[in-house]
């Protein structure tokens, strides 16, 4: 009996030690992680009694906590309570919800915003001793408020996204995604009301909560030809190298023929220089060029430009896709990939980074949205420093790509001609990507300016032809939007003349798709395959 009791006592002692160890680990060692866990409703609810720091653009709060007379001390307000402004910034700020936690900057910078970051421990101790309300840090973004508004209005209610990025630093100057949502109804103090509004947005058509710049991938269309051209230039081709340009090209090991846009002929002689064929965006030429280069060169260049990589801005992007080595990637699929169709899928972020890297002598910069974080006394506790990620291509290759991109906007027959700015060389590349038979194509334009000394790169992606539907092409849908954003970023009017800062017209829609003087009635995008 005594032996049995001793064994039972020993087991109980072991269980007691395990229990105490577990409780200690949870309450002490895991306390910080548990408090920061967005599923910890109790810890999260406590934050509604804190003066959460503002998210700031150009000195103006686009998200802030205001005192309220309720059991919660503060109410989170987005866009100053104006739904239009709140929606314009929603995919950057994210939401702050009693029932759904946080997203966007609200999540990524939560420790600073709620005042719990290690760098703010002195403030927390002071507030505890004096009985003052805990205050969070302000997070100042890289966005330009005017450029954000111009980008938003230029989309004119079309599904898609716009991003503008400083080519020299990687600072994101505008990031717009449509459709969007108003975060204010999600920030109410009623769990049932917040849940109801969240579910309305979550299950509505076209996924308005998605940050389309970072979180959606689509076939890039002819914008991908820049990656094929980069691989060719690195392999010893020049922009003057003559390439075959057949009317149609039979895809290897199939009975299908690849055609140019509208079944047009790229050259009456059946060949042309890489420069000329880029300007008119010839499908057959670049499909054949990719086959000649081989999938390894194309894959390597795509990966250097960011395919397969998740970028943190500080929100994470999804990875763009190019088939991995060893995948069942047949020659016909490579030919389609060369024109941005088939197995290639990309985020607008990566297409913007591609243009920015070319503009920056081949150096890709780390993209970022947070410029400065200040403590409650407005002392700087974080200041972003531009960081180079890698040398994607040599300055010589970047110069060749730039020259072809300039021609793709400047020259007669070019697909990006609507982006011209008098007195400014603009470098861009269009893409019109088919998704399914009978479905309107996606339209792309990635561009930077001034080409001789670039400061800004813009990428526009409009889904399913925008307002033009099946008639939509990159030239008619995406290019005019980018043109308007470029003008605003460079401080120019439509005639290329400097202008002072002005308030944008809230009634203005997308830029009119007028035909420029002395231009042919139609200069179609040659991307896409049939």
- Give tens-digit pLDDT for 112-156: 999 887 776 566 565 555 556 678 899 999 999 999 999 999 999
> CA-to-CA distance for 345 and 335, rounded, in angstroms?
15
Supply 75's token pair: 């109410």
**Which carries the bigger pLDDT value, residue 39 or residue 321?**
321
CB within 8 Å of 443: residues ≥ 6 apart:
221, 430, 431, 432, 433, 460, 461, 462, 465, 466, 472, 473, 474, 476, 477, 478, 525
pLDDT on residue 490? 96
H or E stretch at 212: helix 212-215
pLDDT (tens digit per residue) in 195-212: 999 999 988 888 999 999
DSSP 474: I
Mean pLDDT within 279-294: 97
Ordered by start, the domain boundaries in the chain are 221-370+387-528
pTM of the model as a whole: 0.85
Q: Has residue 526 got a pLDDT over 50?
A: no
Give the pLDDT of residue 496.
82
pLDDT tens across 299-353, in order? 999 999 999 999 999 999 999 999 988 777 899 999 999 999 999 999 999 999 9
- The conformation of residue 348, written as its DSSP 8-state character, comes to H
Average pLDDT over residues 57-86: 93
Determine if the peptide bond prior to 476 is cis (ω within 30°).
no
The tokens of 38 are what?
A: 């967005």
215: left (phi over 0), alpha (psi -120 to 50) or beta: alpha
Average pLDDT, the chain: 88
- Return the axis-axis angle of helices 295-304 and 225-234, rounded to nearest 10°: 110
Residues with active-site annotation: 222
Higher-confidence position of 322 and 45: 322
Identify the CATH assignment for 221-370+387-528 out of 3.40.50.300, 3.40.710.10, 3.10.20.600, 3.20.20.70.
3.40.710.10
d(CA 136, CA 46): 13
Q: Residue 98's closest CA among 183, 225, 217?
A: 183
Report helix, strand or coil for 7: helix
415, 446, 444, 442: which is closest to 428 by C-alpha?
A: 446
237-240: long-range contacts, CB 8 A cutoff, minimum separation 24: 237/274, 238/274, 238/400, 239/273, 239/274, 239/275, 239/278, 239/400, 239/403, 239/404, 240/273, 240/274, 240/275
Q: Residue 501 and residue 518: Cα distance in Å, rounded?
A: 31
Predicted local confidence at residue 1, as pLDDT: 54
Higher pLDDT, 484 or 4: 484
Contacts of 150 (CB under 8 A, 6+ apart): 174, 484, 485, 488, 504
């Amino acid at each position: 009996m005594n032996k049995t009791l001793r064994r039972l006592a020993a087991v109980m002692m072991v269980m007691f030690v395990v229990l105490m160890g577990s409780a200690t680990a949870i309450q002490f060692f895991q306390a910080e992680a548990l408090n920061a866990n967005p599923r910890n409703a109790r810890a999260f609810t406590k934050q509604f009694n804190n003066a959460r720091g503002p998210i700031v653009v150009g000195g103006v709060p686009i998200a802030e906590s205001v005192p309220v007379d309720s059991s919660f001390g503060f109410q989170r307000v987005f866009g100053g309570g104006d739904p239009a402004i709140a929606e314009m910034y929603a995919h950057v700020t994210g939401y702050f919800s009693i029932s759904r936690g946080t997203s966007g900057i609200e999540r990524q910078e939560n420790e600073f915003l709620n005042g719990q970051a290690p760098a703010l421990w002195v403030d927390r101790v002071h507030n505890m001793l004096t009985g003052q309300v805990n205050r969070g840090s302000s997070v100042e973004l890289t966005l330009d408020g005017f450029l954000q508004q111009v980008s938003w209005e230029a989309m004119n209610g079309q599904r898609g996204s716009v991003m503008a990025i400083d080519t020299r630093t990687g600072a994101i100057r505008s990031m717009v995604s449509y459709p969007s949502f108003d975060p204010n109804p999600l920030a109410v103090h009623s769990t049932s009301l917040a849940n109801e509004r969240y579910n309305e947005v979550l299950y509505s058509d076209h996924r308005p909560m998605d940050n389309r710049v970072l979180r959606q991938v689509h076939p890039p269309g002819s914008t991908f030809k820049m990656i094929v051209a980069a691989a060719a230039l690195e392999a010893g081709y020049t922009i003057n190298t003559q390439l075959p340009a057949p009317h149609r090209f039979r895809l290897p090991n199939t009975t299908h023929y690849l055609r140019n846009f509208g079944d047009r002929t790229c050259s009456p002689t059946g060949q042309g220089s890489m420069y000329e064929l880029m300007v008119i965006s010839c499908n057959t030429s670049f499909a054949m060029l990719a086959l000649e280069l081989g999938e390894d060169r194309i894959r390597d260049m795509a990966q250097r430009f960011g395919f397969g990589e998740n970028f943190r801005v500080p929100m994470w992007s999804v990875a763009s896709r190019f088939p991995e080595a060893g995948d069942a990637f047949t020659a016909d699929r490579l030919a389609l990939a060369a024109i941005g169709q088939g197995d290639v899928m990309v985020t607008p972020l990566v297409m913007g980074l591609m243009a920015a890297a070319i503009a920056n002598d081949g150096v890709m910069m780390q993209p970022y949205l947070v410029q400065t974080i200040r403590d409650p006394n407005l002392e700087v506790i974080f200041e972003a420093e531009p960081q180079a990620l890698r040398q994607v291509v040599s300055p010589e290759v970047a110069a060749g790509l730039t020259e072809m991109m300039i021609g793709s906007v400047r020259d007669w027959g070019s697909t990006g001609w609507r982006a011209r700015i008098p007195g400014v060389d603009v470098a861009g590349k269009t893409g019109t990507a088919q998704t399914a038979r009978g479905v309107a194509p996606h339209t792309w334009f990635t561009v930077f300016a001034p080409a001789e000394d670039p400061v800004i790169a813009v990428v526009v992606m409009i889904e399913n032809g925008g307002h033009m539907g099946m008639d939509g092409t990159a030239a008619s849908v995406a290019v005019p939007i980018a043109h308007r954003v470029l003008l605003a970023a460079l401080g120019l009017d439509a005639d290329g003349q400097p202008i002072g800062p002005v308030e944008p017209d809230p009634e203005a829609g997308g830029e009119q798709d007028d035909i420029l003087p002395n231009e042919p009635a139609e200069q179609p995008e040659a991307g896409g395959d049939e």
